[in-house]
């Protein structure tokens, strides 16, 4: 019986160790498989991006290699012939348009634009009469800049003259006939994103269900498996930022032309997404691979490990039973002696044994156990006192937790109230404008009314953007993003102040602001332009809300090592009893006041991230005075 019990105990202790060891191996294998899958996806994506770049390079070459002929023979017949030549000799080109300045060829009227399109078996060239192409992006950009460029993709490039069911990308080159000193027209060469997808993106996938996504410069879908998203929505407009922050983060990384890999959940599937920009175009290509396919080998390994665990447990049980039974036999000889000792006084301490065998060791172990019990009794009293002390500390901690819970509830209510108000305003104003514009019986709104409505909608939209920035900065992700404080910008102090004033005046046109500077216009500091601007805007925003709005000053001074930006106003100020709560997140001086209780705590955190400090001048009694002090030199 004893052997069985000991065997069971040993097995119970051995099983977790065995399972944990296999689990560590299993988890490590998962990391290796994910790493291998990531490298595979990166390699496939990199190859595909190079193929796409070669594809668009072919389009560029088709345009550049023929521009000189148009510039040398700049007449209607030559333009039509070369436009047809570009489309005919380049299978990747679906159309070519050559448009010139107004009245360049008077015999043809004010407009002259030759359009050639590849209609499958037919190359169609036409003169687009009365086509107002001057305001189209593919014409306006090269005319204004004087340089060749890729323009944002569009689908109505020919206004219905020839029906194309997908968007086109256009490479545009300005024409400089004669001495080359004046831009007289534009050559625009177009290709189909649908054809690009069919010839390149649909030909190579690392996994059966993987697919490609191609985004434009502002996040618009150029290539996507769901045709309902193409050319109509962006990755930001089609995604709920609260439910899918990972997709929003992917969109920001791709539109900022970064390369990397993320784990993103599309629908109900977790996916591995590798992304890389396409050179010279402003586009970014992503390869999306479902995680269940990436980890298919990992699941097979799991079944193998399950079989190994079962076999291993059987072997452990058999070996344990055999070893314990053999080593437990000497204890039977001590059993009778133990029974005789059982009728004695427990307080009687057994004598030490000089025997080195199992019985002697067991007797000495009993003696040590008695001594340990006596010692334990003494320590138990001390432990009881310590437990009582810990209970008191736990009770105090519970009160703190309840207080934190109350702040959280209040914060959630504030967020709801702050977001609901501007949303209702924007919705109401949008409804008014739609009714006014869509009804024949209601008078059209006057320009002043439209300006007021637009200004109000813009103000509330910016307020929502400000609230979402606060929520992101206060989140775990925002707190952990130390790279945002990188001092990558050389900022002029006075220029920054003027820029900040322009932004705040756009929000509060009726407020009065005054800039007082004691530093020269040439003074610059190395810091982070975005976060320093946001900090100043937040202080000015608070001054407008909590003052008379007429005496708001931004004062710039300097010391030997730092520059000080001071914002002061005239108003009720901050009560002395509330100042210690001022920089605590989610805590507001007045529960029913406007705001989330995050503004000043986040400003303080941002300023400290910039190696500076935020100072409340308690000696100023006419209102509020806050100073942002940032170093002139970056601390090493």
The confidence score (pLDDT) of residue 275 equals: 94
Model-wide pTM > 0.75: no
| Rounded mean pLDDT, 40-68 | 89
- Could you say which DSSP state residue 483 is in? G
For 205, the 3-state DSSP assignment is coil
CA 538 to chain centre: 23
What are the structural domain ranges in the chain? 56-196, 345-480, 484-631
d(CA 222, CA 154): 10
Q: What CA–CA distances, in Å, run from 219 to 45, 223, 458, 483?
A: 19, 11, 22, 23
Burial 463-498 (b: 16+ CB within 10 A, else e): bbebbeebbebbeeeeeeeeeebebebebbbbebbe
The confidence score (pLDDT) of residue 157 equals: 41
pLDDT of 433 higher than 60: yes
What order do you get walking across the sheet with 613-616 strand by strand? Answer: 513-517, 552-558, 562-568, 625-631, 613-616
- Kindly indicate the confidence band of residue 30, based on its pLDDT and cuts at 50, 70 and 90: low
Residue whose entry in the numeric block shows the structure tokens 């191609």: 214
Give the percent of the chain with pLDDT over 70: 70
Residue whose entry in the numeric block shows the structure tokens 């989610």: 586
Two structure tokens written together for 267: 């629908």
Task: Yes or no: say if 183 and 99 are a contact pair by the CB < 8 Å rule.
Answer: no
| Rounded mean pLDDT, 500-528 | 89
484-631 topology per CATH: Heat Shock Protein 90 (3.30.565)
The confidence score (pLDDT) of residue 591 equals: 47
Give the percent of the chain with pLDDT over 90: 16
Residue in 235, 232, 226 with CA at minimum distance from that of residue 255: 235
| Rounded mean pLDDT, 381-390 | 83
Residue in 297, 214, 357, 259 with CA at minimum distance from that of residue 42: 259
Instruction: Tell me whether domains 56-196 and 484-631 share a fold.
Output: no
The confidence score (pLDDT) of residue 288 equals: 92
pLDDT tens profile 139-184: 888 988 889 888 866 544 444 333 345 678 889 999 998 887 888 8
d(CA 189, CA 187): 7
The CATH classification number of 56-196 equals 3.30.450.20
pLDDT of 385 higher than 80: yes
pLDDT tens profile 82-134: 999 999 998 889 889 999 988 888 888 888 889 999 887 888 888 887 777 88
User: What is the gyration radius of the CA atoms in the chain, in angstroms?
Assistant: 38
């Amino acid at each position: 019986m004893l052997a069985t019990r000991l065997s069971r105990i040993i097995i119970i202790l051995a099983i977790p160790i065995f399972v944990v060891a296999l689990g560590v191996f299993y988890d490590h294998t998962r990391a290796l498989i994910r790493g291998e899958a990531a490298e595979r996806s990166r390699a496939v994506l990199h190859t595909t991006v190079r193929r796409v770049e070669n594809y668009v390079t072919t389009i560029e070459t088709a345009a550049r290699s023929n521009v000189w002929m148009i510039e040398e023979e700049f007449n209607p017949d030559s333009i039509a012939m070369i436009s047809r030549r570009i489309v005919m000799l380049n299978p990747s080109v679906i159309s070519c348009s050559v448009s010139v300045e107004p009245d360049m060829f008077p015999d043809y009227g004010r407009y002259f634009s030759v359009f050639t399109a590849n209609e499958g078996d037919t190359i169609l060239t036409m003169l687009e009469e009365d086509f107002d192409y001057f305001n189209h992006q593919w014409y306006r950009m090269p005319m204004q800049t004087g340089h060749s460029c890729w323009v944002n993709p569009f689908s109505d490039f020919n206004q219905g003259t020839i029906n194309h069911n997908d968007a086109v990308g256009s490479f545009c080159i300005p024409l400089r006939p004669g001495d080359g000193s004046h831009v007289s027209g534009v050559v625009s060469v177009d290709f189909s994103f649908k054809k690009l997808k069919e010839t390149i993106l649909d030909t190579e996938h690392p996994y059966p269900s993987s697919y490609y996504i191609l985004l434009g410069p502002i996040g618009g879908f150029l290539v996507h498996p769901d045709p309902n998203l193409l050319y109509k929505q962006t990755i930001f407009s089609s995604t709920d930022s609260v439910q899918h922050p990972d997709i929003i983060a992917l969109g920001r990384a791709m539109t900022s032309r970064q390369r990397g890999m993320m784990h993103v959940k599309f629908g109900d599937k977790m996916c591995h997404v590798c992304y890389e920009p396409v050179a010279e175009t402003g586009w970014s290509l992503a390869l999306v691979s479902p995680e269940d396919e990436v980890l298919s080998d990992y699941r097979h390994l799991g079944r193998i490990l399950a079989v190994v665990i079962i076999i291993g447990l059987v072997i452990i049980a058999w070996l344990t039973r055999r070893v314990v039974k053999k080593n437990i036999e000497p204890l039977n000889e001590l059993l009778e002696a133990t029974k005789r000792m059982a009728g004695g006084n427990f307080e009687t301490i057994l004598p030490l044994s000089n025997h080195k065998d199992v019985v002697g060791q067991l007797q000495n172990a009993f003696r040590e156990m008695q001594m340990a019990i006596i010692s334990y009794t003494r320590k138990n009293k001390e432990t009881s006192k310590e437990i009582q002390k810990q209970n008191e500390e736990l009770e105090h901690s519970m009160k703190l937790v309840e207080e934190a819970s109350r702040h959280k509830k209040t914060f959630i209510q504030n967020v709801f109230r702050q977001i609901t108000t501007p949303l209702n305003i924007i919705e109401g104003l949008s409804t008014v404008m739609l009714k006014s514009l869509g009804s024949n019986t209601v008078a059209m709104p006057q320009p002043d009314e439209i300006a007021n409505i637009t200004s109000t909608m813009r103000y509330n939209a910016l307020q929502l953007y400000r609230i979402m920035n606060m929520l992101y900065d206060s989140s775990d992700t925002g707190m952990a993003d130390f790279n945002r404080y990188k001092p990558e910008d050389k900022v002029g102090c006075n220029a920054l102040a003027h820029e900040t004033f322009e932004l705040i005046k756009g929000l509060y046109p009726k407020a009065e602001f005054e800039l007082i500077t004691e530093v020269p216009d040439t003074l610059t500091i190395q810091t982070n332009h975005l976060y320093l601007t946001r900090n100043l805007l937040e202080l000015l925003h608070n001054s407008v809300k909590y003052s008379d709005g007429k005496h708001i000053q931004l004062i710039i001074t300097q010391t030997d090592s730092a520059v000080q930006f001071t914002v002061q106003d005239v108003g009720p100020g901050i009560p002395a009893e509330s100042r210690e709560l001022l920089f605590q997140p989610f805590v507001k001086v007045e529960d029913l006041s406007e705001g989330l209780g995050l503004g000043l705590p986040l400003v303080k955190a941002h300023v400290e991230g910039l190696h500076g400090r935020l100072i409340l001048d308690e000696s100023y009694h006419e209102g509020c005075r806050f100073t942002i002090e940032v170093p002139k030199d970056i601390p090493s």
